[in-house]
Amino acid sequence: MVIGIRLHEQAIHRSLPNRSLSGSHPSKCLIFVLANPDSTVATIDIQLVSRQRPMFELLVQGNLTFTVPLVIAALAVVGAAIMAFVHNGESAQWYGELTFQIGLFAFVFGLFSQAISLYQMMGAIERVGAVSPALVAGGLKLSMIGPAMGIGIFAIAVLLRLAARSFSR
């Protein structure tokens, strides 16, 4: 949603330009419309620093087909680690190993999500033909969300497994 602030009467009848100097989507910008005495209108776009739900936007940008299973895997890692801390002996070791295995699955699934994303991106580039390097870089950036989540979940799983091993001894 674009918020327009009109500081002069002459700007009321003019339409808000739907552009942004920062290159971001207009819904993430605050547009100030300043009217000069000579009836020229200048716009200044300021990107908002805090968004309402940046984590949700990251999940959506990373393709919900891949990010939702990774979030479920992260919750399963935490649950298995809690069970490893609660139990003693053989079952604690089993839950610690389960924590590691779920984390490893998240890592591999993140790499799989990037492979699928890159395949789709290359197919789109093949259909379109000439594509700007900025568009390719944006596609690569979005394809890295899944592997980054998978690596993060795997790192947390390894740390929780080590903590559970040292705690159960």
The per-residue pLDDT for range 127-163, each reduced to its tens digit, is: 998 889 999 999 999 999 999 999 999 999 999 999 9
Q: How many Cα atoms are found within 13 Å in the side-chain-facing hemisphere of 51? A: 14
The confidence score (pLDDT) of residue 129 equals 87
The per-residue pLDDT for range 69-121, each reduced to its tens digit, is: 999 999 999 999 999 999 888 888 899 999 999 999 999 999 999 999 999 99
**For residues 33 and 7, is the Cβ–Cβ distance under 8 A?**
yes
The confidence score (pLDDT) of residue 19 equals 41
The confidence score (pLDDT) of residue 52 equals 66
Nearest to 47 by CA among 80, 65, 25: 25
The confidence score (pLDDT) of residue 55 equals 79
| Claim: this prediction has a pTM higher than 0.85 | no
